[in-house]
Amino acid sequence: MRRDRIFFIITALAVVIIDQLSKIAIAGSIRYYESVPIIDGFLNLVHIRNRGMAFGLMNRPDGQLSLYFFVAVTLVVIILLILWFNSLKGGSRRLTFGLSLIIGGAIGNLIDRLRFKEVVDFIDFFIGKYHWPAFNIADSAISVGVFWIVINVIFFTSSDDMIKGYEKRIKDFEE
């Protein structure tokens, strides 16, 4: 097995395990809608559930159709990211890291959707009365992974490498 593949699997698996263990700890120790201050005026741990997506969009109590939509979209995204990973040349550890964070986060939230039909969120950042929507470790991994990939594509990938990659994908698709 390629070293990049092992790195990819271990990183994604670590995200899933940390995400799920943190959600189990929160659900087992903090009542639903309870808030526990960690850093006064800045950070609380809370226990809320989100049936929607990021920032509570499409968060509806009757969201059975949206559940199927989110599960399907998550599965498609995971498949596409795995295909992207498989198309990378050796030595693309920077992109491998970002992709593994995103996939680990997507799987972590997918597990919640399949188990509870909603996602457990518990990190509540705020300044005064201005709150960032609550999120979890999986959401953090997805955000960091996307940011990591964007930074690496912008600053560490030459345009020649990108063009060669697109040409290879087109050639593979035509065959």
- Contact partners, residue 145, CB within 8 Å, separation at least 6: 97, 98, 99, 100, 101, 102, 105
Catalytic residue list contains 139: yes
**Helix, strand, coil content of the chain in percent (nearest 5):** 65, 15, 20
Q: How many angstroms separate the CA atoms of 9 and 24, rounded? A: 22
Find the helix packing angle between 64-87 and 93-116, rounded to 10°. 160
Q: How many angstroms separate the CA atoms of 8 and 2, rounded? A: 10
The kind and range of the H/E element at 120 are strand 119-127
Catalytic residue list contains 161: no
The kind and range of the H/E element at 117 are none
Q: How many angstroms separate the CA atoms of 115 and 112, rounded? A: 5
Out of 4, 19, 112, 121, the active site residue is 121
Out of 62, 139, 161, 172, the active site residue is 139
**Four-CA torsion 81, 86, 92, 94, nearest 10 degrees:** 20
- Show which residues are catalytic: 121, 139
